[in-house]
Structure 1
Amino acid sequence: MADRRRGHHPVTDGGHRQPEAPDKPIPVIRDREMSKILGGCTGRGFLASRDRAIIRLLADTGVRRSQIAGLDVDDVDLAYDFIRVTGKGGHVRTVPFGAKTGKGRLSPVALGHMLTRRGAAVGIEGLHTHQFRHTFAHTFRKLGGNDSDLKRLGGWKSDAMLERYGRSAADERAREAHRRLAIGDRY
């Protein structure tokens, strides 16, 4: 029987430790909520610009909090719109971002506080960085991205991680796919 203590990770067949899936799926951030969060970062001041850039980067890439906080100026390539992040195990990868996404840097703790504050200011309590990772995976799949690309962009080695990050809104995507395919309407 697996040890269920906090922080214990079972070993998979490949010898890599995989985190156990949480009992309760992490909710994704809905489009209207994302608009409210970004709308709460209005203004031309440094804090508003920095926070808006970081929130866009989280939403656009799905990278981890520590990866955002660990970015150096040299890790951001604005000419080709990508960031270079170091994942678990020291694996370096490049992650693309969209044209509206900017740059910013905070400590992991300060980043968490900023998101909690920005979420609360627009009526979204308990907003945290990992929701952006789950939201990125959900939105990528919802818009037709394939699992192989998502796995690579997310820095995941196992299909179990795809399942974990897709679980919270999988039923919604399945219903939308069913409506889009309209199988019964073919007959």
Structure 2
Amino acid sequence: MSRSDRSTRAMHQALPPALREAVDDFAEHLSRVRNRSTHTVRAYVTDLVSLFDHAVRMGCVDLAELDLSVLRSWLARQRTTGAARTSLARRAASARAFSAWAHRAGLLSADVGAALASPRAHRELPSVLRADQAAALVDGPTRRITPTDPPPTDLPDTHGAPTNPARTGPAGEAAVPLRDRVLLELLYATGVRVSEACGLDVGDVDHGRRVIRVFGKGGRERSVPYGVPAQRALDDWLRQGRPAMVGAHSGDALLLGARGGRLNPTIARQIVGAYAEAAGLPRTSPHGLRHSAATHLLEGGADLRAVQELLGHSSLASTQIYTHVSVERLRAAYRQAHPRA
């Protein structure tokens, strides 16, 4: 448990019983009803515990006493302690979500958070690779570009399985580049999140139609197509690579770690970063490949709505940032090439 988690837990235990119970009930609602991830629920709980700790210091010991002035005071205090605009926007969203739920549940007589404003988070344009750079990264395992600092193999897989003996032999060692190749191909070909890629099962791959079934945020299911290079990588991995790394704890997981369990997203990030460094590319993450895939799709003429569906964005506004990326790249090319720029 991190220091931040220990601090949140201590503040949670110090809250009055009614407030502590409200936090726990809201967390259960997010997890069971809204199907939010453990990480998301933890973020909401952290924000709410901070809010209620501030409310208690203001003399608010009962949930019915929570009002807009308390919410605004809490955000103002966060601002004075140096919280970033993105953090303030997220915390305000947490307060509004809780207030709306508490009102529906009859715990608050009014939705006091509905009128809570928050600073608009500054959205930086994502860093993307050029098409040739993305190709160099994805082709790394095939072209024997070996990372100079390979990812550690002693981190636990998702299931914490013991080391797979097959992984230590020649067949297991030869399987690793095949695993790395299919990971890189899928991340760039489909634009899926790293957690979505690591969560894929063998049965989620439709080889005939060349699509994968992905379960995204909130458990939302979508189908995402992939191309011929990714299909070749999948064929090689399933025929030669996965059988050499499979173990008792592999289950139906498509991508496997060194211990035979489902590939850990942390290891997947290290794999991408290591191959990017080995290829002499800018620092790159799986999310950078997602950004690159979306940008290249739009630059190639894909419809914005189609890209939204592929990425699994619930709002078109999240996808529209990639149109700005394309425009900025167009402007840069214009300034460089046009004599009257």
TM over 0.5: yes
Amino acid at match of 2:329: E
> How many Å apart are 1:175 and its aligned residue?
7.8
Count of aligned pairs between the two proteins: 171
Question: Helix, strand or coil: the match of 2:228?
Answer: coil
Deviations 1:165-185 (A, max 9, x none): 443333225788xxxxxxxxx
**TM-score (normalised: structure 1):** 0.78
Tell which structure's C-alpha radius of gyration is larger: 2
Question: Helix, strand or coil: the match of 2:208?
Answer: coil
Aligned to 2:138, which of 6, 22, 38?
38
Q: Are the counterparts in 2 of residues 61 and 136 from structure 1 also a CA contact under 8 Å?
A: yes
Matches within 5 A, 1:90-105: 90-101=219-230, 102-103=233-234, 105=255
Q: Would the alpha carbon gap of residues 39 and 98 (structure 1) be closer, same or farther in structure 2, given more than 3 Å must change?
A: closer
Matches within 5 A, 1:1-187: 4=85, 5=87, 8=90, 10=93, 23-42=123-142, 45-101=174-230, 102-103=233-234, 105=255, 106-173=263-330
Q: Are the counterparts in 1 of residues 298 and 304 from structure 2 also a CA contact under 8 Å?
A: yes
Distance 2:332 2:301 in 1: 14
Q: Please report the RMSD computed on the Cα atoms of aligned residues, expressed in angstroms.
A: 3.0
Name the stretch that deviates more: 107-116 or 149-158: 149-158
> How many Å apart are 1:81 and its aligned residue?
0.6
Deviations 1:62-106 (A, max 9, x none): 111100010111111112111111111111111111111033512
Q: Would the alpha carbon gap of residues 109 and 141 (structure 1) be closer, same or farther in structure 2, given more than 3 Å must change?
A: same
1:185 aligned residue: none
Unaligned runs of 5+ in 1: 177-187
1:181 aligned residue: none
Amino acid at match of 1:161: S
Amino acid at match of 1:89: G
The structure carrying a bigger helix percent of its residues is: 2
Q: Would the alpha carbon gap of residues 7 and 127 (structure 1) be closer, same or farther in structure 2, given more than 3 Å must change?
A: farther
Q: Would the alpha carbon gap of residues 154 and 175 (structure 1) be closer, same or farther in structure 2, given more than 3 Å must change?
A: same
The answer to which structure, 1 or 2, has the higher relative contact order (CA under 8 A, 6+ apart) is 1
Q: Are the counterparts in 2 of residues 65 and 129 from structure 1 also a CA contact under 8 Å?
A: yes
Amino acid at match of 1:81: R
Q: Would the alpha carbon gap of residues 51 and 153 (structure 1) be closer, same or farther in structure 2, given more than 3 Å must change?
A: same
Q: Would the alpha carbon gap of residues 136 and 173 (structure 1) be closer, same or farther in structure 2, given more than 3 Å must change?
A: farther
Question: Helix, strand or coil: the match of 1:8?
Answer: helix
Q: Are the counterparts in 2 of residues 134 and 166 from structure 1 also a CA contact under 8 Å?
A: no
> How many Å apart are 1:36 and its aligned residue?
2.1
> How many Å apart are 1:23 and its aligned residue?
4.1
Q: Are the counterparts in 2 of residues 77 and 83 from structure 1 also a CA contact under 8 Å?
A: yes
Name the stretch that deviates more: 136-145 or 158-167: 158-167
**TM-score (normalised: structure 2):** 0.45
Amino acid at match of 1:62: G
- Identity fraction in percent: 28
